[in-house]
Amino acid sequence: MSAVGRRWVVSCVAVVAVLVGVAGAAGAWAIHYDRGNSGRLLPGTVIEGIPVGGMRTGDAVALLRDRIESPLHRSITVTSGVFRMETTPWELGLRVDVAGAVRRAQGQASGNAVARTWGRLFSHPQKVVAAAPRWNGGVLQRQLDHFAASIHTDPETPAIDASSGWLDFAPGRPGVELDREGSAAAVADAIQLNDANVKLVTTDVAPPSVRDAFQKVILVRAGENKLYLYEDGVRSKDWPVATGSASYPTPTGQWKIVEKIENPAWYNPGSAWAAGMPRVIPPGPGNPLGQLALGLDAPSILIHGTPDRGSIGYSVSHGCIRMLGEHEEELFNLVEVGTTVVVVNAAPPRPRGAAPVATDPAQNAAVNF
């Protein structure tokens, strides 16, 4: 090789060596630079409309918490009628993960150290990451469950007012229940509009109608000694009866029929007035309870037929309500178990004159029971 050729080769090798050295130094510097900036977001990074490019991740998280998460911790008041609760959008289930958004933004810095360094120094395309607050459905549903339980009231059934001695029927009051879908929308709207108050949406629960609650009601007016049947809130029938004596008055109040008895047997109650009477009087023509009886939830009180027809219209029993057999049969066929029975004192007890003299124990029971 000539001297010129040797000098050219040496020059080329020198140039290559210089270039390799420069590249190596540049690569080493790029690695050092990349490591030094690994905790920073790439220039041009925007999270939920907020520029955070070049910021350290911790600073970016703090900024996003102040701008995006902090409003979710503001106080709002949820109300419905007398119900009131202080809470926050966050507690209602509107959440955001700003740290996760920053991690996603960091993940966009892909490639090797040289590529990342080139991107940080010379290429600044905008990198957009979403971090909008989102509803946690489970949390919101649990809050709605709490609201629903706090607000719910059962409808009040119609009531009977017997203070006048007759029956008046007061309509029931509606109940209240939470409209879950409407309330969820109200919560979302209030938060979006930055409103400090949320009024929950409720619906009324209709009570039973008077007609449904009291299709038939029996009124017994002791002293007057008449039994009235109300149908659909109106007096429809009445019959004369015998009620309790002054010493053993028929208990006043509101009761229900709990049993319908055909061919009842009479059982000695064990009271002093029943001493000497049979332990049991089986069904039959002389039975003191007649052929049909309606048992009330008032202790030991029946509406029953009687063979002692002359007692009707008087206050003579030991608390039970006596009817003529044909009247008892008519009433028996008109009412069912569950029918309401109201007993009032309409007048002082009306004593009977001379009671018939009992000729046998069964007749004695009929006269007294």
State how far the Cα of 194 lies from the Cα of 73, in Å rounded to an integer: 12
Residues 341 and 226 in one domain: yes
Global confidence as pTM: 0.64
**Which of residues 134, 160, 184 is at a domain's end?**
134
**Which of residues 119, 134, 149 is at a domain's end?**
134
**Catalytic pick from 124, 146, 304, 318?**
304
Residues 220 and 364 in one domain: yes
State how far the Cα of 33 lies from the Cα of 175, in Å rounded to an integer: 70
For residue range 288-307, list pLDDT tens digits in order: 999 999 999 999 999 999 99
Burial pattern 328-348, b for ≥16 Cβ within 10 A else e, equals beebbeebeeebbbbbbbbee
Average pLDDT over residues 336-343: 97
- Which pLDDT score is estimated for 30? 42
Does residue 34 surpass a pLDDT of 70? no
Domain membership of residue 306 (yes or no) is yes
Domain membership of residue 147 (yes or no) is no
Domain membership of residue 91 (yes or no) is no
- Which pLDDT score is estimated for 39? 76
Does residue 59 surpass a pLDDT of 80? yes
Which residue, among 49, 45, 19, has the nearest Cα to 116 in the 3D structure? Answer: 45
State how far the Cα of 363 lies from the Cα of 347, in Å rounded to an integer: 28
Residues 364 and 226 in one domain: yes
- Specify the long-range contacts of residues 279-288, CB closer than 8 Å, at least 24 apart: 281/361, 281/362, 281/365, 286/360, 286/362, 286/363, 286/366, 287/362, 287/366, 288/362, 288/365, 288/366, 288/369
| Whether residue 12 lies in the annotated active site | no
Residues 115 and 255 in one domain: no
- Which pLDDT score is estimated for 32? 46
The CATH number linked to 352 is: 2.40.440.10
**Domain range spanning residue 104?**
3-72+99-134
State how far the Cα of 295 lies from the Cα of 351, in Å rounded to an integer: 25
Does residue 13 surpass a pLDDT of 70? no
Residues 363 and 241 in one domain: yes
| H/E stretch holding 160 | strand 159-161
For residue range 101-123, list pLDDT tens digits in order: 999 998 754 555 555 555 554 55
- Which pLDDT score is estimated for 354? 66
Residues 220 and 344 in one domain: yes
Residues 228 and 357 in one domain: yes
Domain membership of residue 196 (yes or no) is no
Domain membership of residue 359 (yes or no) is yes
Q: Tokens 């220039």, residue?
A: 43
State how far the Cα of 315 lies from the Cα of 349, in Å rounded to an integer: 5
Number of domains composing the chain? 2
